[in-house]
Amino acid sequence: MALDPRWPVALVRGAVPVALGLLLWVAIAGGEQDRQQTLKAQPGVDAASLSQRRRHNELIMEALREAAETDDNVAQRRVPWRK
């Protein structure tokens, strides 16, 4: 069984994109720890801000849940919503 001379060329052509993708992934992953440290150092990451943001998200989800459960147009309600 003779080896087709096109086989090594096909193997190289298939391996080059994989190698480039791996190199790109290594280059991006190398800066990931620096990015994580930068995100931790940003203002607004303290516990008080996070709990305030969490409460705000809960209120939004409650409003969305209420809007999904009713046939009323909740967008036309007055600002202090009442159930």
Cα distance between residue 69 and residue 61, in whole Å: 12
Task: Give a yes or no: residue 57 inside a domain.
Answer: yes
Task: Give a yes or no: residue 32 inside a domain.
Answer: no
23: amino acid identity, one letter: L
Task: Give a yes or no: residue 69 inside a domain.
Answer: yes
Query: Residue 56 pLDDT > 60, yes or no?
Result: yes
Higher pLDDT, 41 or 13: 13
Task: Give a yes or no: residue 15 inside a domain.
Answer: no
Six-digit token string for 78: 């007055």
Query: How many domains in the chain?
Result: 1
Give the structural domain span for 67. Answer: 49-77
pLDDT 10s digits, 17-52:
999 999 998 888 877 778 888 888 887 777 888 899
Task: Give a yes or no: residue 65 inside a domain.
Answer: yes
Higher pLDDT, 47 or 75: 47
Average pLDDT value over all residues in the chain: 83
pLDDT number for residue 79: 65
* DSSP notation for 1-58: -PPPTHHHHHHHHHHHHHHHHHHHHHHHHHTHHHHHHHHHHSTT-SHHHHHHHHHHHH
Quick one: CA dihedral 14, 30, 39, 57, positive or negative? positive
Task: Give a yes or no: residue 55 inside a domain.
Answer: yes
